[in-house]
Amino acid sequence: GAVVSQHPSRVICKSGTSVKIECRSLDFQATTMFWYRQFPKQSLMLMATSNEGSKATYEQGVEKDKFLINHASLTLSTLTVTSAHPEDSSFYICSARDMRGADGELFFGEGSRLTVL
Amino acid sequence: GQQVMQIPQYQHVQEGEDFTTYCNSSTTLSNIQWYKQRPGGHPVFLIQLVKSGEVKKQKRLTFQFGEAKKNSSLHITATQTTDVGTYFCAGGSQGNLIFGKGTKLSVKP
């Protein structure tokens, strides 16, 4: 089946620095990728939809200047947490839609645990 | 690495039949979540189970968390066409969430 790779799996950074997380579809082209955030013991929350070659669509309440999303190619989307603060510490996970299937099957990355000190 | 296996990958049922999807983890989980994704949509949170042996019901859906907290199941009684979609389990472990590959359910009217 399709594989979505996410990197890094864990990152620790100092407050005020920026962190980039990559999401790659390894064996299919994904015109659309999604970024989610999960707080401890809570459900997944959709942050934004990343569209190849165009601007990302952000969900209500998500700061676009804080969470920069770039989808420069059909296999790569990146999420940059800018000027990270401790409250940005969370589990971030991406998914990519494989449009080869009739319904656009969704595949998830392994997630990235961000800890901001 | 840690894995969450979900079976079956696909299930085709006649409307009115029951449906079950199973999740198995290679390690003990702190909790398990279930999501439903309608075709073309996003996963929508259904429920979270935390306790060993926990059973929760939502109308025709029954969720179970195994005694060892390594497996879980979702059972739908008397499926309806509105149940169509992909059901994902996600195991919580060490602060991370590991998704199964999902079970795609189709229901024939």
Q: Chain B: nearest CA to A109, how far in angstroms?
A: 8
**Chain B residues touching chain A at CB-CB below 8 Å:** 1, 30-31, 33, 35, 37, 39-40, 42-43, 45, 48, 50, 86, 88, 90, 92, 95-99, 101-102, 104
In our burial notation (b when 16+ CB lie closer than 10 A, e otherwise), range A54-68 reads: eebebeeebeeeebb
- Give the length of chain A: 117
The C-alpha atoms of residue A49 and residue A95 are separated, in whole angstroms, by 10
Pairwise CB contact (< 8 Å): A43 & B33:
yes
**What are the strands of the beta sheet with A67-73, ordered from one edge?**
A4-7, A19-25, A76-81, A67-73
The shortest CB-CB distance from A44 to any of B45, B50, B95 is to B45
Q: Chain A: nearest CA to B1, how far in angstroms?
A: 10
Question: What is the model's pLDDT at position B80?
Answer: 97
The shortest CB-CB distance from B40 to any of A93, A104, A107 is to A104
The C-alpha atoms of residue B89 and residue B34 are separated, in whole angstroms, by 4
In our burial notation (b when 16+ CB lie closer than 10 A, e otherwise), range A26-46 reads: eebebbbbbbbbbeeeebbeb
Structure tokens at A117: 């000190």
pLDDT tens track of chain A, all 117 residues? 568 999 999 999 999 999 999 999 998 898 889 999 988 777 788 899 998 888 899 999 999 999 999 998 899 999 999 999 999 999 999 999 887 765 667 888 989 999 999
Pairwise CB contact (< 8 Å): B37 & A106:
yes
